[in-house]
Amino acid sequence: MFQIGLFSKMNQITTKTLRHYDDLRLLKPAFVDDFTGYRYYTSEQLPRLHMIIALKQMGISLAHIGQLVDESGKIPSVIELFLELGEKELRASLEENKKQLDLIQNYQKRIRGDHMLNYNPIIKSLPEVIVASMETVVPSYDTYFDIVPKMGDEMRKQGAVCAMPEYCFTIYHDGEYRESDIHVEVCESVVDYCEDSEMVTYKLVHKVCEAVCILHKGPYETLVDAYGFIFKWIEQNGYQVAGQLRESYIDGIWNMDSKNDWLTEIQVPVSRL
């Protein structure tokens, strides 16, 4: 037998901890001297103590350890499931921390670089919305100024009511940035479905769980710089494109006098590599 002081040194834990385990009925001494009150332990108790220490180091509370470990010191099957769930939670937490670390490190690189922070990428979800949709091929960005007003006129004829806050965006079906012959789908979020016409149809656009988004200020002709930046950022940060990219129009010709004040958000659905 080992007196409590020697047993604590052997296992590099304090006598106070051993007394606490005794009070919690996690590890009772093998023998207590009635006259001195000294606690004694045996080598047969070492596996149980090591198991308690191991589970505690995994972040499992003493209360849970007491519920999970039986008197024989064996680990029942329920603890295996408990540990599996704990492992999944930790892995998810590590992945999230890794994403945050990548964002911080890349932001630091940009701060230290020669260029100013013109683009500040964020990752967010894109909501599920009912939209009025017009799909077509346009020769250039300037064509939007012709087709979008016509789409608005058609929507008014159909009795469509735009949702608030407004979410007007274009989905690009080409899968890449193009300067001409662009296959686009212009969408305007609405509160409910209306009857379709040859020009405008109504449908549900599903939620996107993760999208890298940047704000671009200026005319549409300079969006090519924004696309160059966002695709490079996606590659450098361990993501891949996982859906059709969008442009969301926040400010434009309808409310700004100068093209330099137009504000567009580029939204690229992504997933982790």
Task: Report the interhelical angle of 4-11 vs 46-57 (nearest 10°).
Answer: 50
Residues 256, 132 within the same domain: yes
The answer on 81 and 23 residing in a single domain is no
* pLDDT of 156 above 50: yes
Query: What pLDDT, in 10s, does the model give residues 164-196?
Result: 888 999 998 886 667 788 898 999 999 999 999
Residues 111 and 192 in one domain: no
For residues 162 and 205, membership in a common domain is answered with yes
Listed residues 117, 148, 168: the one ending a domain: 117
pTM for the whole structure: 0.58
Which is higher by pLDDT, 70 or 146?
A: 146
What pLDDT digit, counting tens, does each position of 57-113 carry?
A: 877 888 878 777 665 555 555 566 567 767 777 787 887 787 777 667 666 655 555
- Answer yes or no: do 258 and 187 share one domain: yes
The two tokens of residue 128 are 């599920």
Q: Is the same domain home to 160 and 145?
A: yes
If asked whether residues 184 and 138 sit together in one domain, one would say yes
pLDDT band at 223 (very low <50, low <70, confident <90, very high): confident
**What residue type is 124 in one-letter code?**
K
| Whether residues 165 and 247 fall in one domain | yes
Which CATH number do you get for residue 197? 3.20.80.10
Q: How many CB atoms lie within 10 A of CB 33?
A: 11
SS3 70: coil
3-state SS track over 125-177 = EECCEEEEEEEEEECCHHHHHHHHHHHHHHHHHHCCCECCCCCEEEEECCCCC
Which of the two residues, 225 and 134, has the higher pLDDT score? 134
Asked if residue 207 and residue 173 are part of one domain, the reply reads yes
Q: What is the dihedral of CA 226, 237, 184, 118, to 10 degrees?
A: -20
Q: What is the pLDDT of residues 17-51, one digit of tens each?
A: 999 999 988 899 999 988 888 999 998 888 888 88
Domain-ending residue, one of 117, 149, 171: 117
Here the tokens at position 96 are: 């999230």
Same-domain check for residues 95 and 201: no
Q: Which pLDDT value is given to residue 71?
A: 54
Give which of 185, 183, 268, 258 is closest to 228, Cα–Cα.
268
The total number of structural domains that make up the chain: 3
Residue ranges making up the domain that contains 87: 77-117
Q: Give 226's pLDDT tier (boundaries 50, 70, 90).
A: confident
Same-domain pairing of 65 and 26: yes
| Domain of residue 47, CATH code | 1.10.1660.10
- Indicate whether 128 and 257 sit together in one domain: yes
